A and B are shown apart, each in its own frame.
Chain A
Amino acid sequence: MDVFLTTAALFTDPYLIGVILIGTVGGVLVGAMPGLSSTMATALLLPFTITMQPIPAIALLSALYCAGTFGGSITAILVNAPGAPPAAATAFDGYPLAQQGRAGLALGIATVSSTIGGIFSIIVLIVAAPILARVAYDFGPPEYFALALFGLSMLASISGESAFKNLLGGAFGVLLATVGMDFTTGVDRFTFGFWELSEGVHFIPVMIGLFAGAEFLTQAGNLDRKVVRAVVDAVKLPSWVDFRKTLGTVGRSCGIGAFIGLLPAEGGTVAAMIGYNEAKRWAKDKSRFGKGDIRGVAGPETANNAATGAAMVPTLALGIPGSATTAVILGALLVHGLRPGPHLFNETPTLLYGIFIAMLLANLMFMGLGLLGAKLFARVTLIPTRFLWPAVFILACIGSYALEQSIMDVWIMVIAGLAGYVLKRYGFSAAPIIMGLILGELVESSLKQSLIIFDHSWLGFLERPIVVVFILLTAASAAMPAIAGYRTRLRERLPASADVPGD
């Protein structure tokens, strides 16, 4: 409690409040811009935070993360172009509402349900993170190896075209992590004579390239696209009738979002899709869904924001990112010399409470901004692509350079951008590659240490109960999309074959 009060006292500093406000406003703005996601924005902003103290730096990125998740709903509702992937499901009913002249109501519902989801997720973070960290205290290298494998296997079920492509992307990320000097033997691997690569491929330029560089080329291919904006009436708080109508949906989506967020690698996009589907499944009258039902806005918006704080739980307690954006925050912790995991809770409790408070403040701030300034934020879509994206590309280059002040990192960013664009066209997502790159070192080091512990016997893994549990979970999560696909195909075939005898 003393630590909490001490940390809370830090937040009376106008500088820290200003930093969170900047992060929140920036998050809502980038979230609202189609093509710019909170993941990309946190990656671009990370180099700016190098000179900052750890608490303001992480508070800034956390605020940006929370607000960016909400910001995507503004353009999803007004332009039918989700500013960020987690807001894709919001457009299904948000845009029809806006076309009916009820944009203000849709934005009000999105703002309030996002705030409820966000605050619920922070409660989950405050309760679950220390418990998980306590459990993780007993983890040795074999447990960390199995946990990292489980995290990678969860890539199979994140959004994307194919589970196997996601797993392949994750494996490619792990391979990228092997570039550079092998830390046990000092032997260079995949460096091709470039001494700059001896220290390995830093994930920040790769991440900036895969997200910002690839999106730059996507935008170059969509220059003739016209954006049609719905007219915004006054943004209003939901009435008591609206509130009662969405209460069940909001409650369910809080649970869904928090659960999905807690799982390694899963994030707001998956949570929002499930939140939308469940809102529809539980509704007595489903006919309005897709035509402008407020539950179709409340469901995904609550769920994607409920995933934000929850996704920080595995990130902080285990060092396993809960989502692509928390992977950047994990990277920021490393850049500031902090190693996420159980020890973080003993060594730097002030930082952890700082993150909790910053996220809470960001949620309250974006509620105010959303209700008062959504009309203004919606105007960011008026910034012409022809000026916005050259600026984003320059920021991507300078951001990659600033980290190590190395031109090699700029080349890595550009190559990652070109490769990311090609991969995207072939249905590969960027997030699994990043996850693999971040977890790669942990996988290799923990595997090597485990093999030494077990005297090079792979069967040794099966003697550790926690490892066995993680291996079973890994097998289940890797197989789940294949089983789900098989069940879907079976369901599609059944009615056709059932019709034959009857007809």
Chain B
Amino acid sequence: MPEEPDTGGRAADRGSAARIPRDAVAGAAVLLFCLAAYLVTLTFKEAPAVIAQNVQPATFPRLVLGVMAVLAVIIIVQSFRLPDRKPKRLAFMVWPSAAIMVGFVIAFETLGIVPAMVLLCLVLPLMWGERRLYLIVPYAVLFPLAIYGLFAVALGVHFEPSPLVFW
């Protein structure tokens, strides 16, 4: 884990203002999630007793949510007793890379698999600082073709033709 102990104490670098431990934040987020998921279970249809045999569709998920909530509370309580850890600063490049992940799936749906792969193989190395075009261009052409050939031709995976490109 890219983390380091907060040796200066929880409130050290923020003057007298007490900082909420990260695990408490995580635990609170889990509790909120459990609450939201519980509310969703209220929308589940009730099954006739003869089919459900006294175990309704919502019973088991609610049981699991209860266990999760208890564990989240333990994590919150523990977080105030154990030394807090602050994470390594999030590198800027993580954000555009996450956007590329989402963008690739959108391109997969709209442009088709081959153009999406070519775009990714061109954009991502450039974005990550690669400047040797004599490597990027062959990579962006040959790798997608090899992958398409392997899956579509050799393994018989069917890729839907996209609305914009014939692949």
Contacts and interface: CB of A to CB of B under 8 A. Distances in A.
Are these two chains actual partners, yes or no?
A: yes
Interface of A: 47-48, 50-51, 161-162, 164-165, 167-168, 171-172, 174-175, 178, 182, 184-190, 213, 216-218, 220-223, 384-387, 389-391, 393-395, 397-398, 401-402, 405, 407, 410-411, 414, 417-418, 421, 424-428, 444, 447-448, 451-452, 456
Contacts of A189: 41, 44, 57-58, 61
Given A426-B26, A452-B53, A213 B101 contact: yes
A433 to B, nearest CB: 12
A398 B67 contact: no
A303 to B, nearest CB: 22
Contacts, number: 170
Contact of B64 (A174, A385, A397, A421): A174
B105 A168 contact: no
B158 A405 contact: yes
Contacts of A172: 68
A426 B22 contact: yes
A178 B64 contact: yes
A444 B60 contact: yes
B155 interface: yes
Contact of A171 (B54, B71, B93, B130): B71
A410 B22 CA distance: 31
B134 interface: no
A222 B2 CA distance: 10
Contacts of A398: 113, 147, 151, 157
Contact of A164 (B58, B75, B102, B130): B75
Contacts of B1: 161, 424-425, 427
B111 interface: no
For the complex of A and B, the 10 pairs showing the least CB-CB separation, nearest first, are A185-B47, A221-B91, A220-B97, A187-B57, A182-B57, A386-B130, A390-B124, A168-B71, A386-B125, A386-B128
B141 interface: no
A393 B156 CA distance: 21
Given A220-B97, A386-B129, A448 B135 contact: no
B153 interface: no
Interface string B107-146: 0110001000100110011001110000100010001100
A384 B144 CA distance: 18
Interface of B: 1-3, 22-23, 26, 30, 37, 40-41, 44-45, 47, 51-58, 60-61, 64-65, 67-68, 71-72, 74-75, 78, 85, 87, 90-91, 93-94, 97-98, 101-102, 104-105, 108-109, 113, 117, 120-121, 124-125, 128-130, 135, 139, 143-144, 147, 151, 155-160
Given A161-B1, A175-B64, A390-B120, A217 B129 contact: no
B153 to A, nearest CB: 12
A48 B147 contact: no
A414 B99 CA distance: 10
A188 to B, nearest CB: 8
B97 A217 contact: yes
Nearest to A384: B130
Given A386-B125, A414-B105, A425-B90, 5 more contacts: A184-B55, A185-B47, A385-B128, A393-B124, A397-B108
